[in-house]
Amino acid sequence: MTSHNQEEINTNLKIFIAEIIKQDRPDSHLITVLHKAQELNGYLSREIMDLVSQEMNIPTSTIWGVATFYHYFKLNPVGKYNISVCMGTACYVKGGSEVLTAVKEELGIEIGQTTEDLLFSLHEARCIGACGLAPVAMINDKIYGELTPKKIVDILNNLKKESENTQIP
């Protein structure tokens, strides 16, 4: 996530769109634009999708259709810690779904959701290429391997503490 304020995000996105729609078949760049929007804003908010609709002259229903089709697009704010539990074959066989359930129960959120304190977001991943360490989860850019339900809960608790300690009073 960037620390830019909303106005800056919108301006940057508008500049990006203005450039891209000069090309042939501007509609075909919708996915690229949504990628950029998510990169700038962290997730695709209703306001951001409205902006894309206005700037690209594409109906919001179409944008909503694309945004809900691809797992990549996030429709809710993303937490400070973005958890992806791997559900690829190897991880699944080695107990990935128990790990996932443990995260859901510990944080009280479902896949695609973010905790109310905006600390954690939960996603599932399809193989992140660390099958040797199965089952694995990725939190932001760091991979945690050979997980058990207990291990992942400990990791989450440590992150909570870490976050409390780094908060400026």
Partner 1 sequence: MSTIKVFINDKEYTVESDITIMQACDAIGIKIPRLCYHPKLAISSGCRICIVEVEGMRNFVASCSYPVNEGMKIHTNTDEIRKARKDILELILDNHPKDCNACVRDEVCELQQLASTIGLRERKFEGVKREKYVDDSSPSIVNNHEKCILCGRCVKVCAQIQNISAIDYANRGFNTVIVPAFNDKIANSICTLCGQCVNVCPTAALTEKNYTQDVFKILNDKTKIKVAQVAPSVRVAIGEAFGIPAGSNMEREIAHALKLLGFDYVFDSQFSADLTIMEEANEFLERLNGKGKLPMITSCSSGWMKAMEQFHPDLIDNVSTCKSPMSMMSSVVKSYFADKIGKKSTDIINVAIMCCVAKKYEAQRPELAMEDGAHATDYVITTRELAWMIKSAGIDFKNLKGQDFDAPLGLSTGAATIFGVTGGVMEAAIRTAYELATNKPLENIDITSVRGNEGIKEGSIEINGQEIRVAVASGLGNAHKLLEAAKKDPNKYHFIEIMACPGGCIGGGGQPYAGIRDLPFDPKLVNERAKALYKADELNKIRRSHENPAIIKLYEDFLGKPLGEKSHKYLHTHYKQKFPKGIIRKSKEK
H or E segment to which residue 156 belongs: helix 149-166
Nearer to partner 1 among residue 27 and residue 162 (C-beta): 27
How is the beta sheet containing 142-144 ordered, strand by strand?
A: 120-125, 81-86, 137-139, 142-144
Q: What minimum distance in Å lies between the beta carbon of 155 and partner 1?
A: 31
Q: Among residue numbers 16 through 45, which ones bind partner 1 (CB under 8 A)?
A: 27
72 counts as binding partner 1 under rule CB under 8 A = no
Q: What minimum distance in Å lies between the beta carbon of 54 and partner 1?
A: 6
Assigned token pair, 75: 């429709």
126 counts as binding partner 1 under rule CB under 8 A = no
The gap from C-alpha 1 to its chain's centroid, in whole angstroms, comes to 10
How many CA atoms, within 13 angstroms, populate the side-chain half-sphere of residue 70? 15
Distance between the two ends of the chain, CA-based, in angstroms?
22
Q: What minimum distance in Å lies between the beta carbon of 62 and partner 1?
A: 5
Where does this chain touch partner 1 (CB under 8 A) — which range of 28-36, 59-67, 78-86, 142-150? Answer: 59-67
Q: What does the binding site for partner 1 look like in residue numbers (CB under 8 A)? A: 27, 46, 49-50, 53-54, 57-65, 68-69
